Amino acid sequence: MFGLPKNSVRESRPVSTDGRLALRAARHVRVSLHDGGVVWIDLHRGKVFSSNRVGAMIWNGLVERWSLDRVADSISREFAISAEAARADAHEYLTRLVAEGLLVASDN
């Protein structure tokens, strides 16, 4: 759905104990937000990953330390889909970013 490769996805825990998203971009990753979405640049591997506006909304939720439910509600309202589907898709997207090494657990 978000334009990332469908490699095998390992289990991740993108949500902290207080319910907020607890991930950040890895130190070797640069993130560029633009009108059409978000671009992830992995400096170690020389790879570029891109995502649409939904990916950008999820990234904004990470930056703002929103809960996964709040991110899903925002996506649900914007695109007229169920909050449950938006939550599942957002969780899958975050899991893939972790599996690709683009996101790591937040220090705080």
Distance of CA 96 to the CA centre of its chain: 8
Give the pLDDT of residue 6: 41
Is the confidence at residue 8, as pLDDT, over 90? no
* Span between the terminal Cα atoms of the chain, in Å: 29
More confident residue, 4 or 47: 47
Give the pLDDT of residue 7: 41
For the beta carbon of residue 99, count every other beta carbon within 10 angstroms: 17
Is the confidence at residue 27, as pLDDT, over 90? yes
pTM of the model: 0.81
Average pLDDT over residues 1-24: 57
Give the pLDDT of residue 44: 95
Domains and CATH numbers, the chain: 23-103 (1.10.10)
